[in-house]
Amino acid sequence: MVVLVSFMKSLTLPLLSTLMLNLPVAHADVTVYAAASLTDVMGELNAMYETKYRTKVKASYASSGTLAKQIEQGGKADVFISADVAWMTYLNRKNLISPTNTTHLLGNRLVIISPAKNPIKVTMSQNFNIAGSFTGKLCTGNTASVPVGKYAKEALTHMTWWQSIKPRLVETEDVRVALNFVARGECPLGIVYATDAISTQAVKTVATFPTNSHTPIIYPAGLVRPNNSNAKRFYQFLQSDDAKAVFKKHGFTPLK
């Protein structure tokens, strides 16, 4: 009996070892901090990545400034995707981003939206009286810290609309909050990204700002220091053809 047990062990252990070698290996988690406007597209990409690489992706979405401040204060992010270059530069200057692993990942457009059931007509002209075209408030991100709000202020200034509309602004913590205000009909107008506007049927794009009316909308992606091989692989995945196809489907313009 002892001889038989020993013989069975001699067969079983190599077999188990072979099976374990052939099993896919789960890798360490990757934590991504991404601008709020990337919520939908990154949800899809994260699921793709998890399936392909058996790696759990933890995502946090907020305004780029909020996320940058969290990273500065020790937030455990592996990858940061900002909705503007300024916040990536801010972290770069503090030596928190790998300088050799940053890229201009995506582009976007700036639009004016209105509730789909009761849209306001807006003409993209410096002669247009936007303040007189509606009653109520115009929603966008905080014009001092949230990228969409900063772009909006530049565009409104370029169109000579800033002074007349400034007293009626509702400045939100991120672009998705502004989008939801308009979707619920609480703001008759809002300024968001084109990709946010197409994410819900509750709003309608009523005007698109000229690209020369504001700083180019660029989404940089970067590896947060210190980083590991799993984080770098995710960063490279964002620049793959598969990822580009998903970005395009959601209305973004891949820049790489």
Q: Give the model confidence (pLDDT) of 207-227 as tens digits.
A: 999 999 999 999 999 999 987
Sequence-separated (6 or more) residues with CB below 8 Å from residue 146: 63, 64, 65, 171, 172, 173, 174, 175
Q: What is the overall mean pLDDT for the chain?
A: 91
- Is residue 185 domain-resident? yes
For residues 203 and 117, membership in a common domain is answered with yes
Three-state SS for the chain is CHHHHHHHHHHHHHHHHHHHHHCCCCEEEEEEEEEHHHHHHHHHHHHHHHHHHCEEEEEEEECHHHHHHHHHCCCCCCEEECCCHHHHHHHHHCCCEEEEEEEEEEECCEEEEEECCCCCCCCCCCCCCCHHHCCCCEEEECCCCCHHHHHHHHHHHHCCCHHHHHHHEEEECCHHHHHHHHHCCCCCEEEEEHHHHCCCCCEEEEEECCHHHCCCCEEEEEEECCCCHHHHHHHHHCCCHHHHHHHHHCCCEECC
More confident residue, 252 or 1: 252
| Strand ranges of the sheet holding 203-208, from the earlier edge strand across to the other edge | 169-172, 138-141, 189-193, 110-115, 203-208
Expressed as residue numbers, the domain containing 150 is 110-213
Evaluate the CA torsion angle 226, 229, 235, 236 in order and state its sign: positive
30 is in an annotated binding site: no
For residues 189 and 122, membership in a common domain is answered with yes
pLDDT value of residue 28: 65
151 is in an annotated binding site: no
Using 50, 70 and 90 to split pLDDT, how confident is the model at 256?
confident
- Is residue 230 domain-resident? yes
In the chain, what percentage of residues exceed pLDDT 90? 86
Count of structural domains within the chain = 2
- Is residue 5 domain-resident? no
pLDDT value of residue 188: 98
For residues 202 and 132, membership in a common domain is answered with yes
Model confidence pLDDT, tens digit, residues 172-212:
999 999 999 999 999 999 999 999 999 999 999 999 999 99
Model confidence pLDDT, tens digit, residues 46-85:
999 999 999 999 999 999 999 999 999 999 999 999 999 9
For residues 179 and 114, membership in a common domain is answered with yes
- Is residue 151 domain-resident? yes
For residues 103 and 132, membership in a common domain is answered with no
246 is in an annotated binding site: no
For residues 67 and 120, membership in a common domain is answered with no
CATH of the domain at 88: 3.40.190.10
For residues 130 and 81, membership in a common domain is answered with no
pLDDT of 119 over the 50 cut? yes
Which is nearest to 105 in space by CA: 250, 231, 249, 243?
243
pLDDT of 20 over the 80 cut? no
37 is in an annotated binding site: yes
For residues 59 and 81, membership in a common domain is answered with yes
Model confidence pLDDT, tens digit, residues 138-178:
999 999 999 999 999 999 999 999 999 999 999 999 999 99
